[in-house]
Amino acid sequence: MQQFFIGLGIGIAIAAVVALYFSVRVGKVRKEKEAEVSKYKTMLSDRMELESEGLRKVKEENEELRKANENLRVSLLVMREKPGRKEVQKLQIMQKAVDRLTLNSPGFATAWQVAMHDSEEEFQRMYSGIVPFIKRHIAGKSEAQLVESTEGEEDISGSAQ
């Protein structure tokens, strides 16, 4: 019986050593996994932080570009409404020429008023509807008619050839 207790003691001692070894090993594996999970958590939080910061920057840039786009759109509308120096100068020259023709040519004033009225109506029609939209963007022939002399010997200015 003494041998039985000695064998039992040795078996319990071996079992205790093996249990201790496996518990230490399981503890190491658990610590390694916890360290790895912790590492992944920090990596994930860093990545989420970077992505949120990048997304915030993109949103800010998008908002700035949206504001710049609106400013440019308003500026473009203002520029379309403002005549340039050359256009104002050309308009003044044309006005002087019309004034001279009105004073020097007897039938010019009535013809000029009719032509102005027709041109204004055509201009108004040109900027309303889909067909004028297409005509504006597709180059076409002018609807203005050439003035021909009735005698055939005079050119447009009225002097003899």
11-15, 104-108, 145-149, 152-156 — most confident range: 11-15
The pTM (predicted TM-score) of the whole model is: 0.38
Q: Confirm whether 69 is domain-assigned.
A: no
Answer for the pair 159, 153: CB distance below 8 angstroms, yes or no. no
Answer for the pair 160, 154: CB distance below 8 angstroms, yes or no. yes
Answer for the pair 132, 126: CB distance below 8 angstroms, yes or no. yes
Q: Confirm whether 92 is domain-assigned.
A: yes
Mean pLDDT of 120-148: 61
Q: What pLDDT score was predicted for residue 139?
A: 52
Q: Confirm whether 96 is domain-assigned.
A: yes
Q: Confirm whether 132 is domain-assigned.
A: yes
Domain that holds residue 123: 83-137
| Count of domains observed in the chain | 1
Helices (H) and strands (E) in the chain, counts: 4, 0
Q: Confirm whether 87 is domain-assigned.
A: yes
Return all residues near 155 (Cβ < 8 A) that are at least 6 apart.
149, 161
Q: Confirm whether 64 is domain-assigned.
A: no
Q: Confirm whether 142 is domain-assigned.
A: no
Q: Confirm whether 101 is domain-assigned.
A: yes
**CA geometry: angle 54, 60, 64, nearest 5 deg:** 140
Model confidence over 77-105: pLDDT tens digits?
A: 887 777 677 777 788 888 888 877 777 77
Mean pLDDT of 20-49: 95
